[in-house]
Amino acid sequence: MEILSGQGKNSAVPEEIKGWNWGAFWLNWIWGIGNSTYIALLMFVPFVNLVMPFVLGAKGNQWAWQNREWRDIEHFKRVQKNWARVGFGLVVVLVPLFFFALFSMLKGEAYKQSLSLIRSNQEVIEYVGQPIEPSYFVGGKIQYNGVQGMATLGYFITGSKKEASVYVVAHKNYKWILDRVIVYNKQDGVQIELLKKDKE
């Protein structure tokens, strides 16, 4: 008996295609438009979009089979496999780009000023040794409000003797100004406060 697709809920879903759909999970609303599964547009609804990728991953094969006509099961499998490959490829490319952009933003002027201050501080030099090198990863957040902004940053530094953590607070008023820079090592109980500006 011929198994028909594209008949809505009247389309019986073959056992061969049941299972997880990675294309629907990764590409969600894009996959939904391409597979006539417009429920995927719920990705634009706040909070609902937190669970929709998982719903689409679990129900994607069923919905795509019911909502669109396919030549046969092999055609369906081939197309869904291509969706999965495209989705995985985008994730592989976009995730590193996202983190690169994030770290680039965090490693802005406030970060550079703090590192320059650290490298010129004799007490820090004596404690961690030279050369002082920062870690690649920088944590924290930066908020902008026009020409003003606030930044809290955290990263690690390594010298020839020791490793230490760095905590930075800065504000922006057209240009970045450091408010507080602390180099510390919890294990040694060492805390070197390079800069502390008391609020008026």
| Domain of residue 189, CATH code | 3.10.450.320
CA distance 21 to 177: 50
- Over 70: is that where the pLDDT of 1 sits? no
Domain count along the chain: 2
Final residue belonging to a domain, choices 57, 73, 105? 105
CA distance 87 to 107: 30
Predicted confidence at residue 200, as pLDDT, reads: 41
Residue-wise pLDDT for 37-81, tens only, equals 999 999 999 999 999 999 999 999 999 999 999 999 999 999 999
Residue-wise pLDDT for 72-128, tens only, equals 999 999 999 999 999 998 888 887 777 676 766 678 889 999 999 999 999 999 999
Q: Is 42 helix (H, G, I), strand (E, B) or coil?
A: helix
User: Residue 12 falls within a domain, yes or no?
Assistant: no
Final residue belonging to a domain, choices 105, 140, 158? 105
Please tell me the pTM assigned to this model.
Answer: 0.55
Torsion of CA 172, 175, 176, 179, to 10 degrees: -70
Residue-wise pLDDT for 126-176, tens only, equals 999 999 999 888 888 888 888 898 999 999 999 999 999 999 999 998 899
Predicted confidence at residue 82, as pLDDT, reads: 95
Q: Are residues 52 and 80 in the same domain?
A: yes
User: Residue 63 falls within a domain, yes or no?
Assistant: yes
Q: Are residues 36 and 56 in the same domain?
A: yes
Q: Are residues 86 and 116 in the same domain?
A: no
- Over 50: is that where the pLDDT of 199 sits? no
Final residue belonging to a domain, choices 41, 72, 105? 105
CA distance 129 to 167: 19
Q: Are residues 190 and 147 in the same domain?
A: yes
Q: Are residues 87 and 33 in the same domain?
A: yes
Q: Are residues 81 and 115 in the same domain?
A: no
| Domain around 135 | 107-196
User: Residue 8 falls within a domain, yes or no?
Assistant: no
Complete DSSP assignment for 129-198: -SS-EE-S--EEEEEEETTEEEEEEEEEEE-SS-EEEEEEEEEEESEEEEEEEEEEETTTTEEEEEEE--
Q: Are residues 99 and 151 in the same domain?
A: no
